[in-house]
Amino acid sequence: MNEELIIQTPGQGLIDITGKLVSLVNASECQHGLCTVFVTHTSASLTIQENADPSARRDLENWLNRLVPENDDLYSHTTEGADDMPAHIKAILTATSISIPVMNGRLGLGTWQGLYLWEHRRSAHRRRLLVHLGA
Residue 92 β-bridge partners: none
Range 84-111 average pLDDT: 97
Which CATH number among 2.60.120.460, 3.30.470.30, 1.10.645.10, 2.60.120.10 corresponds to the domain 2-134? 2.60.120.460
pLDDT of residue 135: 77
Return the domain boundaries, the chain.
2-134
b/e per residue 96-125 (b: at least 16 CB within 10 A): eebebebeeeebebeeebbbbbbbbbbeeb
Q: Report the mean per-residue pLDDT for the chain.
A: 96
Against a cut of 0.85, is the pTM above it? Answer: yes
Over residues 40-90, the pLDDT tens digits come to 999 999 999 999 999 999 999 999 999 999 999 999 999 999 999 999 999
The pLDDT of residue 92 is: 96
